[in-house]
Chain A
């Protein structure tokens, strides 16, 4: 029968596009950067100023990237001038409301953290001096702020996954593995971003020991990430029905599957892990290599967000 009912353009299952993918990446990165900063800070010997470059990197990355991400989000709305309604109207059953609330708390907290870390450079003298009391506050309550930051960062990292997994009409989204995968992937991105920014901009204050520690941590996290990816797809295979069908399609169809195998898995996970074991100690801990390694990990994480968002909406069984 001919298509006598009109255009079917509005039925595209692809509702959320690349700005959302980038936002998920930035949110995960922000959370990961904050967590990495804290991890480094909590290592014996790093707890007092002057702060290690890797701590500084995270302190500035966390608020900056989340800010950028939120801007992207607002302008991706179809009614952007009404965005503020999200801040005063809540539906506690919606992951998006929970995310809004988490970010509502997360944002000021990471700014406070940033202010504490950069108190000497930015708030002791100069035009921003009037904010010094806040910076002092941040340092005074550092322990509390840092604990709260950690919890909220985990929340922000995981919520990006829950956001998608709450939709039971997309088989590739509708799995509990997704929040775990996104959280771990976010941590990996945070570690890598901190390394890049730290080594590029705060080189003088970056201790080598911290660098190799973080690098090694990233390798372990990458293993976990690979594991979660494995469970995700194998689990869907064994679920049978439309889930198995979708998994098969998502792994083998078109440019997206290429992106998964080459970008997410190859470039972002297998290569870093492989190089870590293949290269001699001197090379793999050189600043140049660490930066290169971190960059390909970041590409892999961004690819993961893009892949999941698009593949999940396109392969619906």
Chain B
């Protein structure tokens, strides 16, 4: 069966250290002014008055119902057979419809190719060699879990069955393949 790649970001394990941020930059040679991946750390005050930090992984959530692919006039934005949303730079004219249409602000304009770029689960770099994405590879606290959602025995399916997860902006119907494990102190921000 074809693979369908997904990822979990666990808010309980994430410490916002940005190892993923830098590893992604290193492996995929991201130009200095832009980022494929950041983790935003936000202070929260919970209903019982206690304080904590929420960690938001800012990167492409690899929708199944992709707003970006739907609006691309030349099919430069497309989903490959492993469920990864990619950009074929050759077909791109730079209209930036996909950049505007993405509800997660996952895309940026690559300073060199001038085409939109974003997290691709290291499709062209590490995945092509059978390795996990750079971010998953370095995360000090194992807050990232990656794998094939179509494989019942995969690490990600095991984790999904054990941990409560939600996805961002689900009401838009995008069906992201990035699952968030909410901070057990704070609950889900839906």
Question: Do chains A and B make direct contact within the complex (CB under 8 angstroms)?
Answer: yes
Does A281 make an interface contact (CB < 8 A)? no
State the CA gap A100–B73 with chains docked (Å). 9
Residue B53 at the chain A interface, CB threshold 8 Å: yes
State the interface size on chain B (CB cutoff 8 A): 40
Report how far A97 CA is from B72 CA in the complex, Å: 8
Q: Which residue among B38, B74, B114, B115 has the maximum number of chain A CB atoms within 10 Å of its CB? A: B74
Task: Specify the chain B residue showing the minimal Cβ separation from A89.
Answer: B74
A234 interface residue (CB < 8 Å to B): no
Taking the closest CB of chain B, its distance from the CB of A166, in whole angstroms, is 6
Q: Contact: A4 with B73, CB < 8 Å?
A: no
A91 to B68, CA, bound (A): 12
Residues of chain B within 8 A (CB-CB) of A89 are 73-76, 91
Chain B residues near A83: list those with CB within 8 A: 93
Q: Which residues of B contact A82 (CB under 8 A)?
A: 92-94
B95 within 8 A of A: yes
Contact with A along B27-60 (1 / 0, CB 8 A): 0000001110011111100000000010000100
Query: Is A94 located at the chain interface by the 8 A CB criterion?
Result: yes
Is the beta-carbon distance between A79 and B103 smaller than 8 angstroms?
no
Q: Hey, which chain B residues are within 8 Å of A93, CB to CB?
A: 70
Task: Write the chain A residue with the least CB distance to B39.
Answer: A5
Closest beta carbon of chain A to B85's beta carbon, Å: 14
Binds B, one of A7-15, A32-40, A199-207, A291-299: A7-15
Name the contact of B35 in the complex, choosing from A10, A16, A85, A91 (C-beta under 8 A). A10
Contact A5 B18 (CB under 8 A): yes
Q: Is B72 a contact of A1 with CB atoms below 8 Å? A: no
Using a CB–CB cutoff of 8 Å, the interface residues on chain A facing chain B are 1, 4-11, 13, 15-16, 77-80, 82-83, 85-86, 89-91, 93-97, 100, 166-170, 313
- Could you list 23 examples of A-B contacts with CB < 8 Å? A1-B41, A5-B16, A5-B38, A5-B41, A8-B38, A10-B34, A11-B58, A11-B105, A13-B105, A77-B94, A78-B114, A80-B93, A91-B70, A91-B72, A91-B74, A93-B70, A94-B70, A94-B71, A166-B70, A169-B101, A169-B102, A169-B103, A169-B172
Query: 10 tightest CB-CB pairs across the interface, nearest first?
Result: A78-B94, A79-B94, A169-B103, A96-B73, A89-B74, A15-B100, A5-B38, A10-B108, A78-B114, A77-B94
